[in-house]
Structure 1
Amino acid sequence: MEIKPYTESPQTVAELVDLIMFCQNTEAHLGIKMAEQADVFDIQRHYQQTGGNFWLAWDKGHVVGCIGLLRVDSQVGVLKKFFTYPPYRGQPHRLGQRLFTTFMAYAKAETALTEIVLDTPAAETRSHYFYEKNGFQQISRQALPVAYAFPDRQSLIYAQGIVR
């Protein structure tokens, strides 16, 4: 298994959409449409050309995980599209932790960001545990330092300062 920055191909986009739709709708029953997530169809413009990045985890030639850093302004980035297929969670793969480590290493070394924020559906308690274990703290929507679009499903907001 390897984690690499996103490069576009029709097959890659199709597999990324499959992963996102499985995690959001088949598994979590959130009812989120891809029309609410147009950024997925232009990763380079939304993530990579703005000073963020987007990574895919590959296993045997197939996308099995992803994570994105959306740079909103010079200080704040957003953790987006953090998904893995269930067999890659926890031991022995720990793919979520590996993707998050890649994300944070880039945020620290390649950007001047001082804070990472994220939104996550209220029902996704597994995600809340992961974020809190990795240093994020839940904040109110009023404390969110930037505005960005997300498909709101009674979302909780989390933030973490970047320490270099």
Structure 2
Amino acid sequence: MKPLIIPIENKYADKVIDLVLSIQQKEFNVPITIEDQPDLLNIKNFYYTDGGHFWGAFIKEELVGTIALVKFNDSQAAIRKMFVKKEYRGKEFSIAQKLLDTLLDYCTANQIDDLYLGTISILEAALRFYERNHFVRMDKASLPVGFPIMSADNVFCHLKLKE
């Protein structure tokens, strides 16, 4: 079953919020609420205004994964909201990989040379996934000015897209 990956805007906000909060709160017990993530209430303004983007992966009209890009200067951006529903993770569906590949293609087409992300250490499978995709862990103190740090994040990674 091949996922359909499409740009997501505000009309999908409820589905995005359900997916993200369910994974954060129920699956990983991360103490984060919708109030901590106002970006999800206005996806279009938060992600698209400065040249970022937001994608969703759908299987049979069900939202099963998301990934977003926050552009914080001309050539640097951050990955946000990378979530895949538990039953759709892994190589069988490759949804995380397809979402990341979509985002990387967008970066190439839009002259984004450096990609950063923040996550939390308990998301070990996510960190392995990023490392398989050539992201390198880095110190928080080395993050570029303007990187949008989320309060829960305690692990940071970087991917150089262009030499």
TM (normalized to structure 1)? Answer: 0.92
Work out whether residues 13 and 43 of structure 2, in 8 Å CA contact, stay in contact via their aligned partners in 1: no
Tell me how far 1:118 sits from its aligned partner.
Answer: 0.4
Tell me how far 1:152 sits from its aligned partner.
Answer: 2.5
TM (normalized to structure 2)? Answer: 0.93
Matched, 1:8 2:7: no
Mapped to 1, the partners of 2:97 and 2:7 lie a distance apart of 16
Tell me how far 1:114 sits from its aligned partner.
Answer: 1.3
> 2:111 maps to what in 1?
112
Mapped to 2, the partners of 1:99 and 1:81 lie a distance apart of 11
Give the ranges of 4+ consecutive aligned residues of structure 1 lying more than 6 Å apart after TM superposition: none
Mapped to 2, the partners of 1:78 and 1:121 lie a distance apart of 15
Letter of the structure 2 residue corresponding to residue 82 of structure 1: M
Aligned residues: 161
Q: What do residues 17-53 of structure 1 show as CA deviations (whole Å, max 9, x unaligned)?
A: 1100111111111111111111111111111121111
Unmatched runs of 5 consecutive residues or more in structure 1: none
> 2:86 maps to what in 1?
86
User: Higher mean Cα deviation, 153-162 or 29-38?
Assistant: 153-162
Tell me how far 1:129 sits from its aligned partner.
Answer: 0.3
> 2:32 maps to what in 1?
32
Mapped to 2, the partners of 1:29 and 1:13 lie a distance apart of 22
Question: What pairs with 1:1-164 in structure 2 (closer than 5 Å)?
Answer: 1-9=3-11, 12-109=12-109, 111-153=110-152, 155-163=154-162
User: Alignment RMSD, CA only?
Assistant: 1.4
Mapped to 1, the partners of 2:23 and 2:96 lie a distance apart of 13
Mapped to 1, the partners of 2:62 and 2:136 lie a distance apart of 33
> Secondary structure of the residue that 1:47 maps to in structure 2?
helix
Tell me how far 1:154 sits from its aligned partner.
Answer: 5.2
Letter of the structure 2 residue corresponding to residue 2 of structure 1: L
Q: What do residues 124-150 of structure 1 show as CA deviations (whole Å, max 9, x unaligned)?
A: 111110110001000001110133444
Q: What do residues 96-136 of structure 1 show as CA deviations (whole Å, max 9, x unaligned)?
A: 00100101011111x12210000001111111101100010
